[in-house]
């Protein structure tokens, strides 16, 4: 199902590599409509104001993009603490690099971090990391929660769903050597089983996926200015705090006119398995065309619930929770699964698919701790046409929502998908006329969101106003082939490694791009990571021709690429196919680039692109790093840039799109040094 990014990326032999945060002392912004200062002002009681962020920067710099989450984000590194701020760092396999904003606060027993409540709050979410067990499998550790020094509550933190190691598809064993000794391994610049003497790798090898999160209802509402303190008690493990999300959760929803699932024996205490009772209730609701309601409670479900022509609603995703164990099957299923677990699945296309399914206002909490790509242990699966998924919270499954088409007309809206082993949302194979909007996705083990047109094109689909933060591997949003799709008004931050904020890729056996692809009005923050195999930095947007030429109409317009670790825009083919596939008909317009560690544009392919009203500042290297397809002929690069006017700004090297660079001057610096840009700031 999900697929290898690390293993799929070929080597590049011999080749390598308008808005954002202002100083806290001077900047203010209105956050989430609460009138909260971003920094610098004080509360009436004389204490410092809460520093509210979105994707760890001033909310005004990403206004209008991303999901409407209902919560307010505060970074631990902006809060009062006697702990240690770690970072910033973009180095893979480190705690700071996987934190929101690349910094966090580390607490040892006796230490705390204290947040000032920015507005009415009765619920919190803590994103944290604690160590793994010496031999893997995770530990638990307490975290004390107090408000204004009183009302002590204890969270039991766990690392059972964190800490992966090694090469794709990873292992839970921190003591294991490379899983693929026949793969090229960048740490030794060798193929281990073809090397004498064999290389020795330190363990743990490539640790990753450090963070998890936990929610807590506080039992009452607290007001602006109250203090929430997170403290590590004596005897507890070292605890790293990333962010605290605060919100006012509405009371449970009650639907007295719907069919009540308790009538079928579903147990809201979670003490016994309710899987069969839940399925019986769903089947009855389908036959009678009645809406099915699950009251508040935790329902233990250790199997797939098959849904077709049915409406299921809970009391709210803080109150109605479907929680299950991962179960080993007695023999592998026809699809290759060796486990099952909690999830709501439409029928597969081979069984006719499902339609008219509407799921809303509940949580799905799985028990997936390892990545097995053949396993169907996703939160939502199957084929769901003319359907909707709204207001769910999905945690600890393999993929939050994985749809296998062909299927048509699905809306995925206002969901939270966190702490996944693989993708957040994937439209796989012939998903058409469907929309994913206003979803918040954090800490996925693969692409945050993807349209994967394997075999059959995804067409006329839209990803709009979603927030994707901290995908551990691969991209924030990835489009693999397809026809007439749109990626608009999304906020994407902090991809970890071997991926970008947005990728447009002909790979994974996707059908070629056709028609148009619109990438409009998106904000990326601290995007563009280090590609481990190529040993080069990637762009915030990465257009990649690996298995076919990309020549559909690609319109990248109105986007803002902020605080780019390397390049802002990258167009590349793999070295092994550089003379087979090219990239053309790409049009960049009305774009702000604020800060690049290297270039504004990196071209490592044959083809062309046009640029109009692309404004850049704080550029760390030559504006255009044009290597073409690495033949370096006297005719110039095989990649041409067309200047349509209005391309202004630059950095220490002068104008980013200078006339001498056009149309195809070779300016190839294979691995330019990185110049860390200053924080982004408002544009005049």
pLDDT at 133: 98
Which has more pLDDT, 23 or 283?
Answer: 283
Per-residue pLDDT of 453-467, as tens digits, reads: 999 999 999 999 999
Distance CA 245, CA 118 (A): 10
Residue 26 confidence (pLDDT) above 50: no
- For the whole model, what pTM was predicted? 0.94
pLDDT at 41: 42
Residue 302 has φ and ψ, to the nearest 5°, of -115, 35
What is the pLDDT averaged over residues 159-172? 97
- The answer to whether 374 touches 338, Cβ cutoff 8 Å, is yes
Answer whether the bond into residue 204 is a cis peptide, omega within 30°.
Answer: yes
What is the pLDDT averaged over residues 198-206? 95
Residue 354 confidence (pLDDT) above 90: yes
Give the number of other Cβ atoms within 10 Å of residue 78's Cβ: 24
Q: Grade residue 670 by pLDDT with cuts at 50, 70 and 90.
A: confident
What is the pLDDT averaged over residues 549-572? 98
Helix/strand/coil (H/E/C) assignment for every residue in 644-671:
CCCCEEEECCEECCCHHHCCCCCCCCCC
Answer whether the bond into residue 272 is a cis peptide, omega within 30°.
Answer: no
Which has more pLDDT, 48 or 606?
Answer: 606
CA–CA distance from 326 to each of 18, 337, 382, 488 (Å)? Answer: 45, 12, 18, 36
pLDDT at 18: 32
Per-residue pLDDT of 415-456, as tens digits, reads: 999 999 999 999 999 999 999 999 999 999 999 999 999 999
What's the whole-number average pLDDT of the chain?
93
DSSP 3-state assignment of 140? strand
pLDDT at 45: 56
pLDDT at 49: 83
Per-residue pLDDT of 488-522, as tens digits, reads: 999 999 999 889 999 999 999 999 999 999 999 99
Residue 283 confidence (pLDDT) above 60: yes
Distance CA 63, CA 621 (A): 29
Q: Grade residue 684 by pLDDT with cuts at 50, 70 and 90.
A: confident
pLDDT at 13: 26
Per-residue pLDDT of 259-282, as tens digits, reads: 999 999 999 999 999 999 999 999
DSSP 3-state assignment of 327? strand
pLDDT at 266: 98
Per-residue pLDDT of 359-398, as tens digits, reads: 999 999 999 999 999 999 999 999 999 999 999 999 999 9
pLDDT at 23: 29
CA–CA distance from 536 to each of 16, 160, 280, 604, 623 (Å)? Answer: 5, 33, 54, 11, 17
Residue 488 has φ and ψ, to the nearest 5°, of -140, 140
pLDDT at 151: 83
Distance CA 364, CA 345 (A): 12
pLDDT at 335: 87
22-31, 467-476, 567-576: segment of lowest average pLDDT: 22-31
Buried (b) or exposed (e) across 493-521, using 16+ Cβ within 10 A? Answer: bbbbbbbbbbbbbbbbebbbbbeebbbbb
What is the pLDDT averaged over residues 525-538? 92
Q: Grade residue 233 by pLDDT with cuts at 50, 70 and 90.
A: very high
What is the pLDDT averaged over residues 318-324? 98
Which residue matches tokens 């929770």? 321
3-7, 220-224, 380-384, 411-415: segment of lowest average pLDDT: 3-7
Residue 206 confidence (pLDDT) above 70: yes
Per-residue pLDDT of 27-62, as tens digits, reads: 333 333 333 444 434 455 556 689 999 999 999 999
Residue 9 confidence (pLDDT) above 50: no
The vertex-61 CA angle with 48 and 391, nearest 5°, equals 90
Distance CA 681, CA 513 (A): 36
What is the pLDDT averaged over residues 75-99? 97
Per-residue pLDDT of 333-346, as tens digits, reads: 988 999 999 999 99
């Amino acid at each position: 199902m999900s697929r290898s990014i690390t293993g799929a990326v070929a080597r590049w032999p011999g080749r390598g590599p308008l808005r954002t945060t202002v100083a806290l002392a001077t900047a203010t912004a209105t956050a989430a409509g609460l009138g909260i200062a971003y920094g610098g002002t004080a509360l009436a009681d004389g204490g410092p104001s809460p520093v509210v962020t979105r994707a760890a920067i001033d909310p005004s710099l990403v206004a209008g993009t991303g999901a409407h989450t209902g919560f307010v984000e505060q970074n631990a590194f902006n809060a009062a603490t006697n702990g240690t701020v770690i970072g910033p760092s973009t180095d893979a396999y480190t705690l700071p690099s996987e934190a929101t904003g690349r910094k966090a606060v580390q607490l040892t027993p006796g230490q705390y971090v204290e947040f000032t409540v920015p507005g009415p709050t009765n619920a919190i979410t803590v994103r944290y990391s604690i160590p793994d067990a010496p031999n893997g499998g995770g530990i638990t550790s307490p975290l004390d929660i107090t408000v204004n020094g009183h009302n002590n509550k204890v969270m039991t933190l766990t690392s059972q769903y964190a800490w992966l190691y090694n090469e794709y598809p990873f292992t839970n064993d921190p003591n294991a050597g490379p899983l693929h000794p026949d793969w090229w391994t960048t740490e030794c610049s060798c193929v281990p089983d073809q090397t004498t003497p064999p290389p020795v790798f330190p363990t743990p090898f490539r640790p990753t996926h450090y963070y998890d999160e936990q929610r807590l209802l506080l039992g009452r509402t607290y007001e602006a200015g109250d203090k929430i303190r997170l403290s590590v008690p004596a005897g507890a493990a070292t605890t790293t705090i990333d962010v605290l999300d605060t919100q006012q959760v509405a009371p449970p929803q009650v639907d007295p006119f719907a069919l009540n699932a308790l009538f079928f024996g579903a147990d809201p205490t979670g003490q016994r398995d309710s899987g069969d009772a839940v399925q019986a209730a769903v089947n009855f609701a389908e036959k009678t065309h009645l809406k099915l309601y699950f009251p508040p409670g935790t329902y233990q479900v250790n199997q797939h619930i098959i849904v077709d022509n049915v409406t299921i609603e809970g009391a709210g995703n803080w109150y109605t929770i479907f929680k299950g164990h991962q179960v080993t099957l007695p023999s592998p299923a026809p699809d290759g699964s060796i486990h099952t677990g909690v999830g709501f699945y439409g029928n597969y296309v081979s069984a006719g698919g499902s339609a008219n399914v509407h799921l809303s206002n509940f949580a799905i909490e799985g028990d997936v701790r390892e990545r097995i790509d053949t396993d169907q242990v996703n939160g939502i699966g199957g084929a769901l046409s003319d359907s909707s998924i709204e207001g769910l919270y999905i945690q600890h499954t393999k993929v939050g929502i994985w749809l296998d088409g062909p299927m048509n007309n699905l809306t995925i809206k206002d969901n939270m998908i966190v702490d996944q082993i693989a993708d957040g949302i994937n439209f796989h194979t012939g998903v058409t006329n469907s929309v994913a909007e206003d979803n918040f996705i954090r800490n996925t083990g693969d692409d945050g969101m993807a349209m994967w047109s394997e075999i059959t094109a995804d067409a006329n689909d839209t990803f709009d106003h979603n927030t994707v933060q901290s995908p551990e591997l691969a991209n924030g949003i990835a489009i693999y082939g397809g026809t007439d799709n749109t990626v608009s008004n999304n906020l994407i931050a902090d991809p970890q490694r071997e991926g970008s904020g947005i990728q447009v890729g002909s790979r994974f056996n996707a059908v070629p791009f056709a028609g148009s692809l619109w990438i409009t009005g998106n904000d990326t923050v601290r995007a563009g990571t280090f590609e481990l195999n190529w040993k080069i930095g990637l762009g915030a947007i990465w257009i990649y021709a690996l298995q076919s030429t990309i020549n559909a109409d690609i319109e990248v317009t109105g986007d803002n690429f902020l605080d780019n670790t390397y390049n802002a825009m990258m167009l590349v083919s793999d070295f092994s196919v550089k003379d087979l596939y090219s990239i053309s008909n790409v049009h960049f317009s009305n774009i702000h680039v604020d800060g690049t560690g290297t270039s504004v544009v990196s071209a490592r392919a044959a083809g062309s692109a046009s640029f109009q009203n692309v404004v850049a500042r704080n550029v760390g290297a030559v504006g255009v790093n044009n290597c073409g397809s690495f033949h370096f002929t006297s005719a110039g690069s095989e990649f041409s840039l067309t200047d349509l006017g209005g391309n202004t700004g630059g950095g220490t090297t002068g104008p980013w799109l200078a006339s001498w660079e056009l149309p195809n001057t070779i300016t190839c610096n294979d691995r330019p040094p990185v110049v860390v840009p200053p924080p982004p700031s408002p544009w005049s």
